[in-house]
């Protein structure tokens, strides 16, 4: 009886050893995969709406994607309003791949100025198919990598004179379905992965007028425009690209809330791209209390991009630098002139990069490259996310 037990135990030990030797490589492979550093996307909008863009300023080694802004919507088609200069810009953007072969170049259709005709262009099955085919024809002709849709906004007014209707909510979804279908056809022909993304409003009303749970299934990335909150203020000076809510005033709009709202609406965190601003927003205020923050406003003032702000305004010309630590947002205030300026800087960019890593987001996008030609903010992004 004892000998039989001993033999039984030896057999069990051998079997266990075999299982262990068989499974060890799998465990090791899983450990290697888990330990691999995530590759975050860094998406930069490059503007070509002013003519031939200076592509020598663009550093492709610090980007994963470039969204070319903008392609118009005209006669229910994706339309190159400035075809001659757009063609030059496309060629120069594609040349950047020599320095970074992994770089993807997409056309961005719409934007604030050119969103007025989206509603008509996608109103029927026939219209949607023609619009999608025209957009895909552009990327095929110029050997680009995908399409970004920046419709501002479905079933909402957006810019003055924009056409919008209730049907936009469903047609927005169907537009992406049609675009993805046409991209899939070109993918098979070209044997090349083609991307479909969307720039979306960083506020809950956008979600209430779209079906983002359905839309997201067609998209590679959802680019949150978590900036320009300045325009949604109720006549007071607020941060235009804050990560969290300020305690200095009441607000429903900030980046963390946008992320939470989109995830709750059915968009996976790993498709969300956090938007940052490479430019400032400025107003004159009527009261110098709280260094202008939360005070009633007068006229809006153009202030420009971050390179200009950093080099010539921070703690200069009467402006003093402040940080709203609750909102993770910097601002400038000139008590003599009562001018208030909101923007992103290296400190707030660092906080946003920490945030997107912690919450397992896809990465970061910014508007726009030319506003920070010295790359102060892009260098911070690169240091935090290490795109290569």
Separation of alpha carbons 224 and 202, rounded Å: 5
Distance separating alpha carbons of residues 377 and 144, to the nearest angstrom: 26
Q: Is 375 a catalytic residue?
A: no
Of the candidates 300, 225, 307, the residue with the CA atom closest to the CA atom of residue 259 = 225
Could you tell me if 342 and 230 are in contact, meaning their C-beta atoms sit under 8 angstroms apart? Answer: yes
Residues 6+ apart with CB under 8 A from 327: 239, 242, 243, 244, 245, 246, 248, 254
* Residue 141 CB neighbours (<10 A): 11
Distances (CA, A) of 126 to 130, 165, 210, 233: 6, 18, 21, 40
| Identified catalytic residue from 61, 152, 187, 346 | 152
Listed in sequence order, the residues at least 6 apart from 96 whose beta carbon sits closer than 8 Å to its beta carbon are 55, 58, 60, 66, 103, 105
Is 207 within 8 Å of 262 (Cβ atoms)? yes
Pairing of strands 281-285, 339-342: antiparallel
Paired residues of 285 in beta bridges: 297
d(CA 244, CA 251): 10
Token pair, residue 386, equals 């290490």
CA distances from 359 to 9, 263, 274 (A): 49, 11, 11
User: What region does 164 belong to: left with phi over 0, alpha with psi -120 to 50, or beta?
Assistant: beta
- Measured between alpha carbons, how far is 115 from 7 in angstroms, rounded to an integer? 79
Cis-peptide into 147, omega within 30 deg: no
Q: Are 179 and 135 in contact (CB under 8 A)?
A: yes
Q: How many other C-beta atoms are found inside a 10 Å radius of the C-beta of residue 295?
A: 24
**Residues with catalytic roles:** 152
């Amino acid at each position: 009886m004892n000998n039989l037990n001993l033999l039984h135990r030896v057999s069990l030990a051998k079997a266990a050893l075999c299982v262990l030797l068989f499974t060890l490589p799998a465990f090791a492979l899983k450990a290697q995969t888990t330990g691999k550093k995530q590759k975050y996307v860094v998406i930069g909008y490059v503007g070509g709406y002013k003519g031939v863009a200076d592509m020598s300023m663009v550093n492709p080694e610090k980007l994963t994607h470039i969204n070319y802004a903008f392609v118009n919507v005209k006669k229910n088609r994706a339309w190159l309003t400035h075809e001659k200069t757009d063609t030059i810009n496309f060629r120069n953007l594609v040349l950047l791949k020599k320095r970074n072969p992994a770089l993807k170049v997409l056309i961005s259709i719409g934007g604030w100025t050119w969103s007025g005709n989206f509603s008509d262009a996608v109103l029927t099955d026939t219209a949607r198919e023609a619009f999608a085919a025209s957009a895909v024809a552009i990327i095929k002709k110029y050997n680009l990598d995908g399409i970004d849709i920046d419709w501002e906004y479905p079933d909402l007014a957006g810019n003055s004179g924009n056409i919008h209707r209730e049907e936009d909510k469903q047609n927005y979804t169907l537009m992406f379905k049609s675009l993805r279908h046409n991209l899939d056809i070109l993918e098979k022909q070209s044997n090349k992965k083609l991307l479909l993304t969307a720039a979306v409003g960083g506020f809950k009303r956008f979600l209430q007028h779209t079906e983002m749970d359905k839309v997201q299934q067609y998209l590679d990335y959802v680019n949150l425009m978590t900036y320009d909150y300045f325009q949604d203020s109720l006549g007071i000076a607020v941060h235009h690209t804050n990560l969290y809510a300020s305690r200095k005033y009441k607000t429903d709009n900030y980046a963390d809330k946008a992320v939470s709202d989109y995830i709750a609406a059915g968009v996976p965190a790993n498709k969300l791209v956090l938007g940052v601003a490479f430019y400032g927003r400025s107003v004159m205020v009527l009261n110098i209390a709280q260094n202008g923050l939360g005070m009633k406003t007068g006229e809006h003032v153009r202030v420009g991009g971050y390179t200009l702000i950093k080099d010539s305004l921070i703690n200069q010309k009467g402006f003093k630098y402040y940080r709203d630590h609750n909102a993770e947002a910097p601002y400038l205030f000139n008590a003599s002139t009562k001018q208030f300026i909101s923007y992103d800087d290296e400190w707030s960019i660092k906080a946003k990069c920490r945030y997107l890593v912690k919450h397992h987001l896809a990465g970061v996008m910014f508007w726009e490259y030319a506003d920070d030609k010295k790359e102060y903010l892009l260098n911070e992004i690169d240091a935090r996310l290490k795109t290569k």
